[in-house]
Structure 1
Amino acid sequence: MAEIFHWEHVAAALANQTFSMSPALRDIPEGTLAIGIGDSASAGVALNCKNSRTYRSISAWLWNCSADERSWLKQQGAHHAIAQVVIEDFSLDSCFSWLLYTALMLSEEAAFPAGLETWVSYIDQWEQGNYLDGDRFSHSAACLHTVYAHAQLHAAKRESQNYDPALLKQGFTRCIKLLTEFINRTAVPQQGIQPFFSAEYQAAEAALAYEHQLYELVIQRAATCQLLVEQANSTRKVLIDALFLNEQHPSGLFKIFARNDRSRSWSKNGFTLLGIHRPQERGTGNDVVISVDPRSGISLQSLWCALEEAENERWGGERPKDNPRPIRSYHEGNGPNEPWWDDAGQYTLLGAPKQLPDGKPGSRLDWWQDILPLIWQEGFVKPLTPSLKRITPPLAEPEGHKRVCAWCWSDADSRLQQTDTTSYLMDTPSFQAWLAGSSQDKPVVTPYELLQADRFEAYWQSDVLVVCHQQGVTLFSRVAEDPMLERLLAVAQRIATLSDNYAAFLQQIREIFKKWPSRLNQQAAVIEDKQWEEEIFALRVNALNVLNSTETLFSSAGENRLSETLQQHWGLHDQRGTLFAQLDRLDQLMKEAIERQKSRRHRIYGSLFSALGMGIAASHVWEPVRDILTTNEYEWQLLLFKTPGVETQHLAEIAEQSAHFELITLIVFVAFALLGFILFWFFDIRSQEE
């Protein structure tokens, strides 16, 4: 087929222009072309369809403008030579509208090239969120161009989150070249792009594979749920699958992958609603994007109203309104400067407010604390709670206790469920996870707080849905007054009481573990076996009392099934089997500790007595030897009677010698006492029964 766009002419036009990105720019200066942004009253050329009531894409708006409008655009561009191009993104619509404008400037009659009607329609539908290419992502011109554009845009971004002008121009040029090749090779894009050899095309295929792999990784940490939302221009509500994720690198295809994800969505129809949070793009309007598939006929108007109401409340009357951004919802011009984007009144795509001219954020709502709870409230809690009645009071037990919660259908006539759309939610995994959350420490306020399916068990017992998990159990009856619900509730409360009693008993054991080691260290001299025997006996009696205080067998199979299920989830089966084993082990450990303390005490006493005995024995052995070697007191007295004239000097020598041997006696006593202590302490020399 003949080329519609000659690359030489396109490249020449690109060479004379510089590019910048400023999504929040509204007043376009002379000599500047703005694509997707700016007010029509600006001095420069603003190609912006966002305020149009007829067209949703720049391409369709530009293609369908009148001859006078085309002439004005051509004259304006010729009078003020366009040297600067300000863009919002590298999207398919932005690139195609640049091609149309360039072709218009090169045209002699202010006309567009013929043969582009199918491309205009295709891009217009893509811009409105209608994906026309089915599951053939690799044959879709929109998918290939979008992923390639995001790759180029990412390459042009500096670490400071600004864009390098040279890299920005280079990336935009490559995107224009890829689009030009698509248009020149394919007359009807809905029929698919056939593979061809090109550096840009191969890079686009690689980028597509990368983003699909990234989607596979991101969705594992995303939150999914089912919501009940209104159809456009109707009070009817339909059940849809919703997906919420955090996106670090912008991707225009996550919503396409999600809407065509038949395997992970509960309905097998893909995720109709997609909420994306991009914290690194705060202030651009793309940091929070909530969208639905336009083909679903769903309107997010109620959510948009709730978001705007929350914004006004958070601003507290200080929300700037001196230069309102014109959008369909505020048609009278009484809106804020930066409202939530309403998708030209279609409410299929909601975007966060952009940054204000003074640099302050246009939104004061937080994704985690405000926006997600609002979505959950509007799509799940509000439709559901009027049809439910809580049987048990709100939970107020301290942390760690098993929680029992019960709900039932609020209307006495259960046949109304057959025509009440709220009942759609009652068969979804989100409803089961929400029930599980109602018997947790904290209620569920966002889809991210829903328990994963592998963390709870849910089954129907007649008209009662039982949802049990490690922290508690929730019962829901489809009947307003259900005797089965009352019986199962009594079973759940009885098993919960048993679990709480066992938890208290375990706490008692833990306190003993904390108490006895310190007592063994500080009061080793006064602890006796009898103390521990009395305490362990009391523990055994208490354990039997805990296990036998609550009957776990019931008259009906349904009650016994619930009893067994709760005992398994709460570990009572294993706990019963190991309870006395733990007590025996505790008894053994404590007896060993007491025995070690007593053994050490006995060793100390034995060593002291051994030292005393060895010292005394050595003294008795040494006494005859000393008597032989020295003059004892009797001999000294006889000496005075036998020899009255004995010299005083001699008597003094005898006394000194006796004193010397007394010291030797003391040394012998101390030495043998020390020897006895050492022998007993280190070698434990004592009589023992074998």
Structure 2
Amino acid sequence: MAERLNGERLAAALETVTFSMRPSLQELPAGMLALGIGDAASQGIALNCKNSGKYRSLSAWLWAMDADERRALQEKARSQAITHIAIEDFSLDSCFAWLLFSSGETQGLDQWVRYIDQWEQGFYLDGDNVSDSAACLHTVFAHARLHAAQTAAHHYDADLLRDGFIRCLKLLTAFINHTLEPLQGIQSLPSADYLAAQAALAYEYQLYQLAIERAVTCQLLVEQADSRRKMLVDALFLNEQNPSGLFKIFARNDRIHSWSKNGFTLLGIYRQQQQGTGNDMVISVDPKSGLSLQSLWQALEAEENRRWAGQRPCNNPRPLHSYAGVPNAPDQPWWDDAGRYTLLGAPKTLANTGEPGSKLSWWNDVLPLIWQQGFVDYLQPCLTRVDEADMPAGGQKQVCAWRWNQPDARLQQTDTSSYLTSTPSFEAWLAGCSQPLMPTTPSALPAADHYEAQWQGDVLIVSHQQGVTLFSRSPDNPALAELLTVAKRIATLSDEYAQFLRQTREIFKKWPQQLRQHTGTIEDKQWEEEIFALRVNALNVLNSTDTLFASAQQNRLSEMLQRQWGLHEQRGSLFAQVDRLDALMRDAIARQNSRRHRIYGSLFSALGMGIAASHVWEPVRDILTTNEYEWQLLLFKHPDTTPQQLAEIAGQSAHFELISLIVFLAFGLLGFILFWFFDIRSQEE
């Protein structure tokens, strides 16, 4: 189609204009124009629909001006040359408002005005394919340009701001030249900025995919506006670190991760880095859903009043639809979306003291309140707990049971509270009921892979490692009592088996320690008595509880719980563990006995070898030395033997006595070594 707007001409008019990012600017000097900010009474030009309070977008405000208002604005613009433009963003509305103001072009743009006005009010009308949406493409492109204009010190470069605004303006003119009906979608354009917008869209969607994995999701009931009817919706709560321009759009059109396949209608976003701005805690519903968060707003305000304990500042109240005409209204209440209650924002910082306007914490107060309002308050009046009176105390496995106290939950009803019983959030809540701490916030719900949920007839069974919860969707269901008996019996068996395992662990700790510290003091008989007692306890564990029941439904529950808690394999390996323990301990005792046998045997072997060697050495010594008898003969035959000769004979005898001792010790050592290393009875396999 023919080009309606000349983007190059519009861009050329801004080449000599400086830009700044000043969201809180009020007073404008002559020669300055502000988009979406500023006081209309200033000398400069403030294009700010917030001053009127009637319009949600600059585009609709400018479009709806009558002839006199338009003429006055044009005269003010002609009276001063615009040299500086202050902006709060590069949004689609800001760019289109500048286009309307600077070009004066209005013919044929009425559908674009309505489209942008709806976008500013939170309505997304383009369908599931966001890559064809003019609003989505322009928004992500604007976010990318704004990020590029930011310096490392988190300030904005004036030249990069001007370049970013001009490129966003050119992209918008390309969209308008492409079609006058934005809801028909934007097809591929031969433009570098269009390709950059598609790349930015892919980047933002990747951020969403990463964020959704860490987000908290659940299902809640939310009231319709001006009605007591309630809708079951998917809710998503996220701690947002990197702001995304299209997170809401992606979430509300997410057919993959939402349980209902209708997207996440309710969103809760927490931005800790924006504390005090009113954007740190934001809860919203899709404006197209026709839902209202008025009850939640009232609950939040009531909780704020309770926390402030009568000290809530009310000297300079912020204008708010909900507090119109109300005396002593708070200075900083929760934002009510001008009475529409589709978007709730946290109170801002108090202007006078700099103190936070809210006493509530996101994780500890706001989320539990949302959960209470949208889940617990609707569900708990319809449930009756049936196991509290006879619950055993002190068991490791928790058993819990609920029954529906209203007409059968499967029947069509005007009260939608029963719809909650079909949701994953209800299953997760049931799993939490049989855990040490019942969840009071969606962030505390057990993950889906931490429990198993299974319907058996009209009874929902939710089991996990800590216990099991039963729920009957009909008020009078005899099967619930039967299954509750099964669950308690298997839980008791599991607790007894856990106690037996603790006993075996203590034995494993005690006996090896005794073997190390008191070598030789443990007798086989002592261990036989201990292992006999252990076998008796194992038999008691196996036979204390009957796991076979009369009905197939009861047996299915028994099998499921035994498998979930590991009793199937544990029962089969119970005696195997005892036998293994017995074998290990007997082997350890045998090792101790073998060591003792080796020590004693080596000592006796050394003594025997020494004595034997002495007996063998005795005749040899007699041959080599002069014994007492030979001495006497020598003295008798040779009476002239000198004392020196006698001394030599005595020294020789003493020398051979020392040799005898050495022979005894050497052969004793040899006997010790031979027995220690080569005794067959002491060798290990």
Task: Report the counterpart of residue 212 of structure 2 in structure 1.
Answer: 219
| 1:463-491 C-alpha deviation (Å, 9 max, x unpaired) | 33221122211112234454332222121
1:341 and 2:335 are equivalent in the alignment: yes
Q: SS state of the match for residue 269, structure 1?
A: coil
> Kindly tell me: are residues 559 and 296 of structure 1, through their superposed partners in 2, closer, same or farther at Cα, counting changes over 3 Å?
same
Please say if residues 152 and 171 of structure 1, whose CA atoms lie closer than 8 Å, have aligned partners that are also in contact: yes
Q: Offset of 1:80 from its aligned partner?
A: 6.0
> Kindly tell me: are residues 516 and 401 of structure 1, through their superposed partners in 2, closer, same or farther at Cα, counting changes over 3 Å?
same
| More divergent stretch after superposition (434-443 vs 350-359) | 350-359
Task: Report the counterpart of residue 21 of structure 1 in structure 2.
Answer: 21
1:617 and 2:612 are equivalent in the alignment: yes
1: distance between equivalents of 2:398 and 2:339? 46
Task: Report the counterpart of residue 584 of structure 2 in structure 1.
Answer: 589
Please say if residues 402 and 496 of structure 1, whose CA atoms lie closer than 8 Å, have aligned partners that are also in contact: yes
1:506 aligned to 501, 509, 512, which one? 501
| 1:650-681 C-alpha deviation (Å, 9 max, x unpaired) | 44444333332222222212212222222222
| More divergent stretch after superposition (661-670 vs 120-129) | 661-670
1: distance between equivalents of 2:81 and 2:320? 31
Q: Offset of 1:636 from its aligned partner?
A: 5.1
> Kindly tell me: are residues 159 and 550 of structure 1, through their superposed partners in 2, closer, same or farther at Cα, counting changes over 3 Å?
farther
> Kindly tell me: are residues 341 and 35 of structure 1, through their superposed partners in 2, closer, same or farther at Cα, counting changes over 3 Å?
farther
TM-score, structure 1 normalization:
0.89
Q: Offset of 1:318 from its aligned partner?
A: 6.1
1:328 aligned to 289, 307, 321, which one? 321
Q: Offset of 1:46 from its aligned partner?
A: 4.1
Please say if residues 216 and 443 of structure 2, whose CA atoms lie closer than 8 Å, have aligned partners that are also in contact: yes
2: distance between equivalents of 1:689 and 1:135? 75
> Kindly tell me: are residues 689 and 77 of structure 1, through their superposed partners in 2, closer, same or farther at Cα, counting changes over 3 Å?
closer
1:100 and 2:95 are equivalent in the alignment: no
2: distance between equivalents of 1:158 and 1:401? 57
Please say if residues 57 and 124 of structure 1, whose CA atoms lie closer than 8 Å, have aligned partners that are also in contact: yes
Please say if residues 595 and 682 of structure 2, whose CA atoms lie closer than 8 Å, have aligned partners that are also in contact: no
> Kindly tell me: are residues 259 and 342 of structure 1, through their superposed partners in 2, closer, same or farther at Cα, counting changes over 3 Å?
same
> Kindly tell me: are residues 532 and 80 of structure 1, through their superposed partners in 2, closer, same or farther at Cα, counting changes over 3 Å?
farther
> Kindly tell me: are residues 268 and 201 of structure 1, through their superposed partners in 2, closer, same or farther at Cα, counting changes over 3 Å?
same
1:606 aligned to 587, 601, 604, which one? 601
> Kindly tell me: are residues 325 and 624 of structure 1, through their superposed partners in 2, closer, same or farther at Cα, counting changes over 3 Å?
same
| 1:210-255 C-alpha deviation (Å, 9 max, x unpaired) | 3334433432333321101111122221111112234443223232
| More divergent stretch after superposition (440-449 vs 331-340) | 331-340
Task: Report the counterpart of residue 663 of structure 1 in structure 2.
Answer: 658
Q: Offset of 1:540 from its aligned partner?
A: 1.9
1:259 aligned to 244, 247, 252, which one? 252
1: distance between equivalents of 2:646 and 2:681? 47
1:208 and 2:201 are equivalent in the alignment: yes
> Kindly tell me: are residues 2 and 356 of structure 1, through their superposed partners in 2, closer, same or farther at Cα, counting changes over 3 Å?
farther
> Kindly tell me: are residues 604 and 8 of structure 1, through their superposed partners in 2, closer, same or farther at Cα, counting changes over 3 Å?
same
Runs of at least 5 residues in structure 1 that lack an aligned partner in the other structure: none
Please say if residues 289 and 349 of structure 1, whose CA atoms lie closer than 8 Å, have aligned partners that are also in contact: yes
Please say if residues 405 and 474 of structure 1, whose CA atoms lie closer than 8 Å, have aligned partners that are also in contact: yes
RMSD: 3.3
Q: Offset of 1:412 from its aligned partner?
A: 8.5
> Kindly tell me: are residues 224 and 581 of structure 1, through their superposed partners in 2, closer, same or farther at Cα, counting changes over 3 Å?
same
Task: Report the counterpart of residue 441 of structure 2 in structure 1.
Answer: 446
| 1:477-536 C-alpha deviation (Å, 9 max, x unpaired) | 234454332222121111101001111111122222222222222222222333333222
Q: 1:450-469 alignment to 2 at 5 Å? A: 450-469=445-464
1:187 and 2:180 are equivalent in the alignment: yes
1:384 and 2:379 are equivalent in the alignment: yes
Please say if residues 224 and 290 of structure 2, whose CA atoms lie closer than 8 Å, have aligned partners that are also in contact: yes
Q: Offset of 1:685 from its aligned partner?
A: 6.2
1:485 and 2:484 are equivalent in the alignment: no
> Kindly tell me: are residues 379 and 76 of structure 1, through their superposed partners in 2, closer, same or farther at Cα, counting changes over 3 Å?
farther
| 1:294-334 C-alpha deviation (Å, 9 max, x unpaired) | 12110012222333344455556665555443332333485
> Kindly tell me: are residues 655 and 81 of structure 1, through their superposed partners in 2, closer, same or farther at Cα, counting changes over 3 Å?
farther
1:293 and 2:293 are equivalent in the alignment: no
Q: Offset of 1:377 from its aligned partner?
A: 1.7
Q: 1:559-598 alignment to 2 at 5 Å? A: 559-598=554-593
1:418 aligned to 413, 417, 432, which one? 413
Task: Report the counterpart of residue 141 of structure 2 in structure 1.
Answer: 148
2: distance between equivalents of 1:187 and 1:147? 21
> Kindly tell me: are residues 270 and 409 of structure 1, through their superposed partners in 2, closer, same or farther at Cα, counting changes over 3 Å?
same
Q: Offset of 1:649 from its aligned partner?
A: 4.3
Code of the aligned partner of 2:341: Y
1: distance between equivalents of 2:244 and 2:683? 84
2: distance between equivalents of 1:689 and 1:391? 63
2: distance between equivalents of 1:179 and 1:157? 22
Task: Report the counterpart of residue 518 of structure 1 in structure 2.
Answer: 513
2: distance between equivalents of 1:81 and 1:360? 41
Code of the aligned partner of 1:348: T
Task: Report the counterpart of residue 676 of structure 2 in structure 1.
Answer: 681
1:352 aligned to 322, 346, 371, which one? 346
2: distance between equivalents of 1:426 and 1:168? 52
Please say if residues 28 and 46 of structure 2, whose CA atoms lie closer than 8 Å, have aligned partners that are also in contact: no
2: distance between equivalents of 1:441 and 1:205? 49
> Kindly tell me: are residues 65 and 327 of structure 1, through their superposed partners in 2, closer, same or farther at Cα, counting changes over 3 Å?
farther
1: distance between equivalents of 2:510 and 2:66? 91
> Kindly tell me: are residues 261 and 200 of structure 1, through their superposed partners in 2, closer, same or farther at Cα, counting changes over 3 Å?
same
Q: 1:64-213 alignment to 2 at 5 Å? A: 64-77=64-77, 81-103=81-103, 113-213=106-206
Q: Offset of 1:564 from its aligned partner?
A: 1.4
> Kindly tell me: are residues 678 and 50 of structure 1, through their superposed partners in 2, closer, same or farther at Cα, counting changes over 3 Å?
farther
> Kindly tell me: are residues 546 and 268 of structure 1, through their superposed partners in 2, closer, same or farther at Cα, counting changes over 3 Å?
same
Q: SS state of the match for residue 554, structure 1?
A: coil
Please say if residues 679 and 685 of structure 1, whose CA atoms lie closer than 8 Å, have aligned partners that are also in contact: no
Q: SS state of the match for residue 15, structure 1?
A: coil
Q: SS state of the match for residue 205, structure 1?
A: helix
> Kindly tell me: are residues 148 and 412 of structure 1, through their superposed partners in 2, closer, same or farther at Cα, counting changes over 3 Å?
closer
Q: SS state of the match for residue 376, structure 2?
A: helix
> Kindly tell me: are residues 464 and 571 of structure 1, through their superposed partners in 2, closer, same or farther at Cα, counting changes over 3 Å?
same
Q: Offset of 1:436 from its aligned partner?
A: 0.9
2: distance between equivalents of 1:480 and 1:50? 55
Please say if residues 408 and 473 of structure 2, whose CA atoms lie closer than 8 Å, have aligned partners that are also in contact: no
Q: Offset of 1:281 from its aligned partner?
A: 4.3
Please say if residues 409 and 418 of structure 2, whose CA atoms lie closer than 8 Å, have aligned partners that are also in contact: no
| More divergent stretch after superposition (214-223 vs 292-301) | 214-223
Q: SS state of the match for residue 14, structure 2?
A: helix
Q: Offset of 1:557 from its aligned partner?
A: 2.2
2: distance between equivalents of 1:325 and 1:258? 31
> Kindly tell me: are residues 550 and 113 of structure 1, through their superposed partners in 2, closer, same or farther at Cα, counting changes over 3 Å?
same
Please say if residues 218 and 235 of structure 2, whose CA atoms lie closer than 8 Å, have aligned partners that are also in contact: yes
| More divergent stretch after superposition (616-625 vs 548-557) | 616-625
| 1:441-473 C-alpha deviation (Å, 9 max, x unpaired) | 332233233233343232333433221122211
